[in-house]
Amino acid sequence: MQRNEFALTSENRPQTDTGIIIEKSVLDYLDTNSYSNEILDEYEKSIKHKTLFLIALFSAIILIGLIAITIGPLDISISDTYKIIVSHIFPSASLAPDTLTDNTIWQVRLPRVVAGIFVGFALAISGAVMQPGLKNPMASPFTLGVSAAAGFGASLAIALGASFRMASISVIVYAFVVSMLSVMVILLISKMKNSMPEVIILTGIALSYLFNAGTTMLQYFVDPIYTKQMVFWMSGSLYKGNWENVAYICPVVIVLSIFLIIKSKDLNSISSGDETAKSIGINVERTRLITLVISTIITATVVSFMGTIGFIGLVAPHIVRMVIGADNRFVVIGSGFAGAILLVLSDIVAMNIIAPVTLPIGVITSIMGVPLFLYLILKTRKGG
């Protein structure tokens, strides 16, 4: 090919802000006197910008988490708060104040904040994977009916007489099992239709309506006391964020999130089209189903413990994409960080907006999420 036959124009020049990633090896084929240096510079600047954004998000998680620990109905000074944390990390320090203050920080506030970080991360990273995998910007764990299925499972456990304590194992098990049953139905139908994204989304919506109807029917027939318990669980809350539940949630979220982050590069190719992805050796159907199952397991795990918390998995990925583009290698982990920030901030609002009453966090995320999502829709470029 002659040099003048490969002139890069504004129409065919590779873009660095889309899901199609320009690998540096490709640039070796470009003439150094043409646009290769310019493209390489743009690529490196783009990577640097995205990396700095992730670092900023991670720093914000730490800062907001530390602030959240100091906020609550019981007035505890910042110095006492961090003395307690240090004394538990380094027992020989002997810095802890009185027992009430120590229990408030170490047994209530800190595990609640840690739970908020991991739950927000899990919900957001699941949405960030589902949206490019299913090629639908409205895809999220709740679009696919995971939330509705967990709600029905928990409501069924309550209706059958389960003791509705915050750590009630029966409620958790029922919510998780029914969630996974809904995923099995989706996978079975999608397999019959060759894993078409439209089929997966429509099946999830249909199941969501079915499970919501089942939950409503249970609420209609059971004792009003049980109905109140169901509604509270469906609203979601970090009140169940104790060290015992955190110990179950964290390993699942960490291990499965690492897998999704590794798979994020394949999602870039799938976002460019199934045929494009297949042409470079990616098994599109298998990748789509595996990422769907993994993200659903993460969601089912956290929802089973904390109840249904909406909008985090839908809004967080869009916020990140508006800032750094659609490169899923960065969007997936960035969405997790953004989701953690949004959920911890929502919990701060839920605990303090009408203190000492603590509102269900699912209510706050919905109130905050709807106007934010409408704003994102209005700000999105035409055809974006």
At a CB cut-off of 8 Å and minimum separation 6, what does 96 contact? Answer: 83, 84, 87, 88, 102
Q: What is the mean pLDDT of the chain?
A: 80
Residue 158 is encoded by which pair of tokens? 């309550």
Judged by average pLDDT, the poorest of 11-25, 64-78, 233-247 is 11-25
What pLDDT, on a 0 to 100 scale, did the predictor assign at position 80? 80
Tens digits of residue pLDDT in 107-165: 888 999 999 999 999 999 999 998 888 877 778 877 788 888 988 988 888 888 765 44
Does residue 112 contact residue 241 with C-beta atoms inside 8 Å? yes
Torsion (CA) 157, 159, 163, 164 in degrees, nearest 10: 80
| 213-253 pLDDT, tens digit each | 999 998 888 888 888 888 888 888 888 888 888 998 999 99
**Res 30: pLDDT:** 46
Percent of the chain whose pLDDT exceeds 90: 20
Amino acid at 196: M
Q: In the prediction, which pLDDT does 25 show?
A: 47
Longest Cα–Cα distance of the chain, Å, equals 80
- In whole angstroms, what is the distance from residue 148 CA to residue 151 CA? 5
Residue 70 burial (10 A CB sphere; 0-12, 13-18, 19+)? middle
Confidence at 344, pLDDT banded by 50, 70, 90: very high
Compare 318 and 26 and report the one with higher pLDDT: 318
Q: Which of 134, 158, 141 is nearest to 208 (CA)?
A: 141
Q: What is the mean pLDDT of residues 39-48?
A: 82
Per-residue pLDDT of 345-363, as tens digits, reads 999 988 888 877 788 888 8
